Amino acid sequence: MVNLNVQMSQEDFGELIGVSQQTVSSLLNRGVLSPGGSARQWLHQYCGHIREIAAGRASPEGSAELIAERTRLAKEQADKVAMQNAERRGELAPVSDMEMVLAAVGVKVGKILDTIPGLVRRRVPGIGSDVLQAIEVDIAKCRNMAASMTLASLTDGDEDQPDDGDVNAAESP
């Protein structure tokens, strides 16, 4: 039985844990093992180092950059899987697909807006041409605003809302 409470040579400790004397020397130089420690201390320090490597919090080379890069890669991979799952659940869609849907909706809404002046003319036979022209102007503003929408304009305030003068012009007979 080996007495772990005494100091041990690098060669003997290497034989105990199954590595070369040079590896034990490297562990001492990198600060994994404390100089002058007992075999028990070295064994605890070495096992703690191995656990950190297995958990991904340390690398055999001790490179902090490598650990940070591995952590970043793992996070990116997790983000990718989360996005794929959200897309499968229908919670997320590619921007190009969303743009195509919005363009199709815009075309349909535009066709409906184009019919409004004719509908108003039939429902209100005595309506003046100046009121119909005001309605057409407001419809054109709406179509232009919809056509110029971007993702950035979603975060802007209500700058494109008509002011009271625009609304009253369309409502006056």
Q: In the chain, pLDDT over 70 holds for what percent of residues?
A: 83
Whole-prediction pTM: 0.41
pLDDT, residue 136, reads 93
Contact indicator for 47, 32 with CB cutoff of 8 Å: no
Q: Could you tell me which of 120, 104, 99, 105 has the C-alpha nearest to residue 170?
A: 120
pLDDT digits (tens, 9 = 90+) for 38-82: 999 999 999 998 888 887 776 666 566 777 787 899 999 999 999
Token pair listed for 104: 């199709």
Contact indicator for 173, 127 with CB cutoff of 8 Å: yes
Contact indicator for 81, 87 with CB cutoff of 8 Å: no
- The DSSP code for 49 is H
Q: Could you tell me which of 37, 12, 10, 8 has the C-alpha nearest to residue 23?
A: 10
Residue 120: pLDDT over 90: yes
The vertex-7 CA angle with 4 and 12, nearest 5°, equals 80
31-35, 43-47, 73-77, 168-172: lowest mean pLDDT where? 168-172
Contact indicator for 40, 4 with CB cutoff of 8 Å: yes
Angle between helices 10-17 and 21-29 (to 10 degrees): 110
Token pair listed for 66: 């490598």
Contact indicator for 135, 116 with CB cutoff of 8 Å: yes
Give the long-range contacts of residues 161-170, CB within 8 A, separation 24 or more. 162/138, 166/138, 166/141, 169/134, 169/137, 170/131, 170/134, 170/135, 170/137, 170/138
CB-based contacts of 42: which residues, under 8 Å, 6+ apart?
8, 13, 33, 34
pLDDT digits (tens, 9 = 90+) for 129-164: 999 999 999 999 988 888 887 777 777 655 545 554
Q: In the chain, pLDDT over 90 holds for what percent of residues?
A: 47
Domain ranges of the chain: 10-84, 95-171
pLDDT, residue 90, reads 87
